[in-house]
Amino acid sequence: MASRDPERGKQWHALLTQWQQSEQSISAFCKQRQLSQPTFYYWRRKLGFDRRTTRPAPPAATFVPMTVVAEPLVEVVLPTGVTLKLPLTAAKEQITCWLTATRAASC
């Protein structure tokens, strides 16, 4: 019966640690290092390696409270075919600014 080589296990442990810390797929990692993929999978399973063990968990979803306020709008259809939907609460100066900008953009 052949004896097990502990050095081989140490080598694969180091390789699997490198893979865990890389962003590479198994295929790319093996190709770059000229490793057999079936052998890689064997040692990964044998040594209990999983990439997920070293990746940080994604942050938990957080919800920000917000209030949706329906604001009444007025629709202005210009002779150029442009339609503006403006809030009724808009100041006269703001409406003038929007109309000026629309005129400049249509030139």
Render pLDDT for 45-103 as a digit per residue (tens, 0 to 9): 888 887 655 455 667 777 777 777 788 888 888 887 888 888 888 888 888 888 888 77
> What pLDDT, on the 0 to 100 scale, is given for residue 105?
65
Q: Does residue 14 share a domain with residue 47? A: yes
In a domain, 80, yes or no: yes
Name the pTM for this structure.
Answer: 0.45
> What pLDDT, on the 0 to 100 scale, is given for residue 35?
93
Contact at 8 Å (CB) between 106 and 100? Answer: no
- The number of distinct structural domains making up the chain is 2
Mean pLDDT, residues 5-20: 88
In a domain, 99, yes or no: yes
Domain encompassing residue 36: 6-53
Q: Does residue 46 share a domain with residue 79? A: no
Tokens of 64: 């920000």
Mean pLDDT, residues 7-23: 89
